[in-house]
Amino acid sequence: MKQIDRLAAFDQDGVERAAAVDDEGRLLPLPPQFGDVLNIVQGGEAALAAAAEALRADPPAPLEAGHYTLLPPIRRFRRDILCTGWNYWDHFEEGVGKREGQEVDRPAAPTFFTKGPDTVIGPDAPIAWDPRVSGKWDYEAEIVAVIGKDGRSIPAARAMEHVWGYCLANDVSQRDLQRRHGGQWLKGKSIDQTMPLGPWLTRRDSVQLDTVRLWCDVNGERLQDASAELMAFPLAELIAELSLGMTLRAGDILLTGTPAGVGNARTPPKFLTDGDEVVVGATGLGQLRNRVMAFDLASPR
């Protein structure tokens, strides 16, 4: 393998490992000394080059599908997950008049919020659903930028130097909780076991972001479909704004917003329920395929 363009995390017999992903989508396990994917991201180009050299020196047999479980590529976080709201204007506009008295003007700058890391699940894992917690479970297909180099007050012209690469997320949201708690989004975005992440990390230089098409299917019906070039604030601007006076660290992830088509904005609204299959995909970034499943989220543990 000349270079590694994609990194995945997998579980095999209860052990988490990192792997490169070849052009056919097969996993090539890395030697255990490389640790998890986060270790490689934080190790920068030197760690990635060492991993590629290890695969050249002793090529592993590709893993057969069905003999491993894909995990979220990053599972260790030093802070809450960073997110961007209203970053496709068509999504902002589709919500006008449907925010239940919490209307706002079109933002002149990016809208940022965070969500708890306990939301994160694997690219094939079930999305937790409990109607006692919320009656309005919504899907949101998003492209995720993975920070690869620490920085603070990063100028937009240098921002992409701080991006390791990309993956996908489904920012499953509880719309009634968003409204219930003052219109801020932390609670309505932070329910446990609700955000698929993955399926792997794709290196920045192997994807031209403005040509990426992002989509979401629910039970086989295409409900979201948009080009990343329609972002209201491009990724470089998001990073510049977010990092102003605030350090971003290698391994941080930033969700970059969802396009139009969410369930809350439809007539009638279309919310997720037990048994629904949700597939989020994007050009060159793979796909997440998750089933909504009833969980006990309302009982103490």
User: How far is residue 118's CA from residue 191's CA, in Å, rounded to a whole number?
Assistant: 8
State the pLDDT confidence band at 301, using cuts at 50, 70 and 90: confident
Give the type of residue at 279: V
Task: Convert the pLDDT of each residue in 20-50 to its tens digit.
Answer: 999 999 999 999 999 999 999 999 999 999 9
Would the pLDDT of 100 be above 70?
no
User: How far is residue 296's CA from residue 275's CA, in Å, rounded to a whole number?
Assistant: 15
Would the pLDDT of 79 be above 70?
yes
State the pLDDT confidence band at 294, using cuts at 50, 70 and 90: very high
Q: Where are the alpha helices (DSSP H) in the chain?
A: 37-57, 89-94, 175-180, 235-243
Tokens encoding 279: 């597939």
User: How far is residue 197's CA from residue 141's CA, in Å, rounded to a whole number?
Assistant: 11
- Beta-strand pair 173-174/286-294: unpaired
Give the type of residue at 187: K
Cis peptide bond N-terminal to 123, omega within 30: no
User: How far is residue 253's CA from residue 192's CA, in Å, rounded to a whole number?
Assistant: 18
Looking at residue 97, what is its pLDDT? 66
Higher pLDDT among residues 2 and 170, named by residue = 170
Give the type of residue at 28: L
Q: What is the pTM of this model?
A: 0.97
User: How far is residue 26's CA from residue 49's CA, in Å, rounded to a whole number?
Assistant: 19
- The domains of the chain are located at 6-71, 81-294
CATH assignment of 81-294, given 3.90.850.10, 3.40.50.2000, 3.10.580.10, 1.20.120.1200?
3.90.850.10
Residue in 149, 145, 153 with CA at minimum distance from that of residue 83: 145
User: How far is residue 29's CA from residue 85's CA, in Å, rounded to a whole number?
Assistant: 36
CATH 3.10.330 fits 6-71, yes or no: yes
Contact 171, 195 (CB under 8 A): yes
Task: Convert the pLDDT of each residue in 137-152 to its tens digit.
Answer: 999 999 999 999 999 9
Looking at residue 218, what is its pLDDT? 98
Higher pLDDT among residues 101 and 222, named by residue = 222
Tokens encoding 172: 């499953």
